[in-house]
Structures are given as C-alpha cells and as structure tokens.
Chain A
C-alpha cells in the first residue's frame, strides 16, 4: 500500500495543472481517491465529521443491487456481465469527458447509473444499444443539467426511455425465457439454453396479462419469468431494497407511498370490475401478482428513491410516491403500453421540484410566525 502511495505521489505532478497530462487530472484524481481517502481536515467548527461520504453512500446502492445482478446472471447468462461492462465503459467515458471539460472531479453518482442501467434492460439487448443508451442517459439526463446533484431526471431511466422509443422492436425482441436448469447459467453459459439473440419474441408476464392471461405469482416472486434483466426476482429486490431502507440511503416514505397507492388503486379497479382475470378471481391474488410483476418493485426501491431526482421534503415524498404508484396503474391498464414504471417515475421526476416548492411555501408560511 505504501508503495502504491509512493507511485501516486510521484505521478501527481504529471497530471497537475500545467503538467504533461494535465487534461486527465479528473481521471487521475478519481483513481487516486478510489485507493486512498484524502487526508483533508476540517477547517473550523464542527471539528469532526461523520465518516460517511458519497463513495460510501453510492457503494450501498451498488451492494443492494448485487443480489439482483446475480439473479440476472443465473437466469439470463453471462452475456449480462458483458452488458454491465459496456454500460460502465460507455457511461464513464461520457462522465470523464465532462469532468475534464468542467475541470472537476469525477462524481461517484455514475457508478450507480452504470449498474442500474443494464438491470432495467431486456437481457437480449444488443451491446451497442446498451452503450448508446447509457451514453444518452448520462449526457442528456445528467451532464446537460450540470452533473450529479443537479439533474432533474434519473439518467438510467432517460437512457431506457430513449431506447424504448427509438428501437421498440429490438427492445421487445430482447426479452428471453429464463434458464430453467438447476444451476441456471452459472456454469459459464453465455445465454440460457434454447434462446439466441434472434429467437422468437417471448411474452413478458405483463404483456400476457394485457390479453387477460395471468401466470403464477410464485414464479414472479422467484424470478423465473421473462423480463428485464434485474427486475424479475421480486424476493431479491425486496431483500436489497429493505437493506437500502435500513441504511437510510433510500427513504421509506417514497417506497411505502408508491407501493401503497399502487395496491389501493389496483384493488379499486379490481373491485369496480374494470379489470378482471378468469384464472385468478378475487382481489388479493391479482393485486399481489401485479405488485410483483414487471419493474414496479425495482423501480420503487432503486429508481424512485434516488434523492437527487426525487423531492427532498418528507411531505413531498409522500405525494411523489402516490403519483408514481397511481400513474403506473393507469398506464398498465388504460394505455397501449404494457409496463408504465419508467414513464411513471420520469413523470414523478418532473413533478418533484414543484412538490418541493409547494411544501416549502407552506413551511415558510408556518415558519414566518416563529420567533
């Protein structure tokens, strides 16, 4: 470790302002601070600081999606790993480019986008589309707004939305049947057996439900269904999501209000008879099925809870969750789209600043009377 520090110290002048490779300073800085935490000290009161930093905060998100990523490997093969690598490489290039132009450090926020993005794509998405999508998402969704902390939209969702609108056919062809072997694809299988990139389009549970056909809830819970790479296994998502809530990185209010409003509205539609399924009568069954189907859980736990693009106030978070949950229900049942979580969260992102504004207005009025 000491040796590495010596090497870094020796290399620093080369990358400093005016050095030979001065333009690469942000890249060097990111690498340096990855290995060695800075020794900066506080300048005044408070003289101590919490040990938490953004690197740690973002690491928590990455840790919490690791179960989903492993499930993606298991069900959809090692090709998924290639998607992750492409996503990181392409996104990091855009991020580093902007850091160099702005002469700022590379922000940790990208490491989350880089792993979340392949998880919300169909597992058969062509690799060039993965690269293009993440680059688009980071560029349009984040850097144009001023980088981490200032973006209005979740970059991963912007990238996905772009791909879904630009290449609808290729995207829906990317869905594939999950592996049904005991060991899944863990034994270095590139793709689950019986599927190729040019295989016949597989229906996701939600698209069959659109036709009134509803599958088994247990499969949704375990994840052995077709769908985006990381969104199929409800139980692992809940596991990772609860971990994220416990660490306080994600706020429980958003999660509770999103899922709560989703359940309430879906039950209301079922009771009212607007939607009904022959195979699964009653209310509780179909509600649970819809809760576990598609990207709702993944979006709620890992996308909607993004602090930057969501509202900051607690009251705003409740309203934000209700908007996302109900819009998802409306898109699923009353539009031509089978899945609405992406659009619902992006719509929520649009409303987030206004929700905050309303809450702050009320709060300021209340505070005005305080002495």
Chain B
C-alpha cells in the first residue's frame, strides 16, 4: 500500500525547495491549539460480561465568559436508551438508520457521586433538564447548582463517579457480543457560550437533549482516559496510546491522551486485527500537489504542508481483505482534506470496522477516531466496486475537519458539519474513484456523487429548510436531505457560481478562521462574502434560511418558416396589396432563393421558489451553439427570433453548473422530437415483460 519509493525520492529536491521557500504565515492563519475549556481525567473499567462501565471522572472547567456561572450542565447521553419514554425513543421509535433497538437490552448512566475537591457533595443539587421539549421523562441532560459561582476566567474541578449500562448497539454506541463501541458514555459538559458566540446576546449553557437525529456539541479540552478491559481485548480510542499495562486480576489498562478535542470514544474487542500504516506528508503528497494547492489557495507552500499521521485500522477478521480499502481511503482523505483546509493536526487516526450485527455503531465520527463499516460481500466481485467502505471512511474522516476542528453546533445547525462535509467528501471521492463512478461501478451501473446526491432532490422537497434544529424537521427524510444532500448541492452550485479557485479559498479561510472554535451559519456567510467580494445574502437567504425548490424549465419551443405578411402595405410610397395567394407565391419564391426566414420562440419558466441566474444554450441549425444568461428572477421569460436558421433546441444550464436544480430533465427542449431513447428503453421494457410472462408460463 505504500507508494513507490522511487517517486518519493524524485520528489525530495522539490520538496526541499518548497519548504525552504515557506514562510511563517501558517501559524498566523491556522491555529495550532484550541483554547482548552475543559480537562477530563477518566478512569473506566469495562465489565465485559454485564456490559457495564464503572467510571471515575475528574473534570476541570474554565469559565470562558465574562459571566459568573453558578451552575453546570451535563449531557448524560446513555439515558437516551433507558426506556421508551426518552426523547430519543419517542422521536426515533427505537430505530435509527435501519437498525432497531433490542427490547430487553437497554442502556443508561447513573451518576453515583459528584463532589468538589473539598468534599462538598453536589449530588443532591443534580436534576434533569428538558430544554428542548419539556419531556419530563427524558434524562439526557442534567444540571447541577454550584455552591459558589465560577467567576469569569475562573475554573472549577469536580469529581464524578458513574456507572453505565451499555445498550446493545443500534444507534452509534453499545455492545454486540464481545464487541464494544463506547461513545457518549461519560457525563460530558455542555458548552457555555459567552455572549457573542454564534450570535448570542447573553452568555449561557448550550446543552440539548439527545434527539433521534441530533449529534453533538461540546467544548475543546484535554482528555486523559485509563480504560481497563479484560486481558486479550484489543482497544482503540481517541488520541495517542500512552501506556498499556497488564493487571494481576486478568485485566489490562490502556491509557490514552489527547488535547484540543471535544469528545472521547473508544472500542474494545478480542477479535480486532490491527492494521497500521503511516501517512507520510513527504511521500504521499507530491511536490506538484503541494505547489498546485498553494497556487489554488493563494497560500505559501509552508502553509499547505501536511504532517505525518499514524493510521490504525481495527478490522474484523472476516474483513481483513478489505483493510487496504480502509487504509487507502483514509490516506486519500488525510491528504485532500489537509491540502484544502489545513493539515490534520493530530498524530493518530483510528478507523474501526464494526463487528457483524453492530452496523449501528458504524459511520460515526469522534475526534481522531472514526467508525466505518463494510460487509463480507463487498470483498467479492462484483460487489467490490460498491465503494461503501471508502465513502464512509472518507466522510467520517472529513468530520475531523467539519465537527472536530471546526466545532459547529451539530444540534442546531447540522448542515455546517454534515452538509459541508458531504460537499468535501463528494469532491474527494470523485478524485479518488472517478466522477461518474465515485460511489458505485457495479455490473455496468455507475453512480457518481452528484447523481447520488441529486437522487434525493425533487420538487417535493419544499417543506424543510437547511438551517433548522435537527429535531425540528417534519420527517427523518427531511432532516437527511436538508442536513446532507441539499447543503452539498447548495455548495456545489455556489462553487460553480464563484469559480473553483474562489470557492477553494472560501473554504480554506472558513476553516482557518474557525478551527477550534464554534461558528454559526452567519459566520460562514461572512467568510463567503469576504473572500468572494460579493454579498451573497440573496443566495443564502433563499437556499439555507428558507425552504423552497430551485427548478427551471424550457416550457415551450417553436420554430417555423416565417409566413409572408398579407394585407395592404406601403412599399416605397406605392400601395402593395398582398392576398393569401400572393403571399404563398412569394413564400415559394423565397424558398427557392433560400431567403426565407425562420420565426422561433423559446419560453423559459421558473418552477421553484428559488431564483438563480442561469445560462441558456440555443442551438440553431448549422450554427455553433449560442449562449445567453437569464437572471431567473421573473417567473418566466420569452425570447423571439427571426433568423435564416431554424432553431433546433434550447437548454438551460448546459454545463450542469446548478446541481441544486431539482430536475435536469426539463432543462432542455428541442423542436423536433427524437424518439431513439424512448424506443431503446421501451424495447428493453418489452423484453423483460416478455421474460416475466414466460416465467409465469405464458
């Protein structure tokens, strides 16, 4: 899987030059460290038989605001799986992403102690909160009142004891047999947002309940976690492994540490096979790629330089032949995300391949730790060209940038991580696996990223808007479309509008400016406006802030020989009476001479609510295509032409620069129909109906 060492050697002199020319601007633009608001030191023991966790947590919180804060808000996410009355269960009905909860394998977390270092017991003041839906039976958010407020800039340390029962995996976290994916497992502080953060007028806690579709939001800090598991278990986790010790009681303890992250997850199973590979910033990226990226982004070579990353894939024995697919796609992702947005700053990346039957824990992101997922079928022809393991690895790695490093609020503005990441992922999948085949190339069927995403777009998608809290959508499908697919289409359309270079610089600047911080949609718009030099409020207002569809069509097209006018005319002062017969004669004469004109008409309509400028290509017989731009603001426009050439066709957005358009089929129309495609597919339809009838004995 290593790239050719020869090409790497060839690149060395150029690289040396590249780095010699570098400047110190990188440190100015790309923050090296987060402002660490929290420190967690957790000691946890896994009872692999009872599927329980016993933990001791010492959390230190620094008040980042100018307020005196007299209470702390915690997430107790595992209580989402406590019973069918939790908000998560009420909203999801006990199923998520195709997985269903097991009725007798619930999960929960009990806080057994909560003390200040001086021994003050905080447990009596602990109570559950329901800020989103007033569901009194939901216990996923807790608030504790402090005896003394934490002053601005001050800090507080609390000792917490907890016991957790893991659910059987169906929504991200839990166990399956002796496989454990432990996420959202410890009492985790919410985010105290100072005034001004994400448009807040006053400071306050942002700590939402666990919803069916929501993900997470937390503050940056340092984690040191000691995980004790039965000896023989292979453990992977967020961050770097600092120590591993075997205990006398038949267990082993694994110590992981990581700074500048806002969550911690881990996995354990005796069956994992570890596959390791180092991403080499010198060998895996060519000098030309560095140069091209620097030019594209308007950055120095030093600014776009990447760092080495140790990749560990924890793969199931039955999926070992696919380990290379995980590794290669992780390398692809580290390279392109890093080049485009800024180097991945952590030294490790762990990719987890979930156990059979634990698919619900797959496709999830945590800092430096992602879960992917595959099936044994995908290692055999012809299914090996279904790029699910690659797609999910690239996407979850992408969350290291959009969710991890740029820590938007996933509860309230999921599009800023899922949507922006889908846009980035799609582009990288196209680079790695081909534009038309980036997702599927299976027995002649091809499915590229744009087509896959557009499959979800249609004229019915007018009831949801992108900027909506994730629990505020009418349906799950609306959440998915408006958080993933639509933002991807919005950003691809924006890229076509601004140009590739401007868009690349927009995204780079947005990432640099908001790395290790919590941006909102408004912060994103501000960067777009600043870098592009345009006020694009009209665009974001329509496609992010409001619901609506973008759809243009060529509604009518005609082209006919111009009839000779009839009636009484003055021709050079002499009367000229043209009756029908005379008109016909003149038409014939003009036909003979070839001077007859064509009268053509094109009507375009805006079917959707969203107005967007579009290019229109007109094709006249024997002439090169002509292009016009329509600002698309009116609901319709009509163009008339009188020319010697017959109009053949009219086509809106001929270069497909507006993937947000709900239908490309109605974008064009021709004067004379061509029934070849209809004939070809009707014949196929006939053939397969015949086959079906033959199967039924006819």
A binds B: no
Q: Which residues of B contact A (CB under 8 A)?
A: none
Give residues in A with beta carbon < 8 Å to B.
none
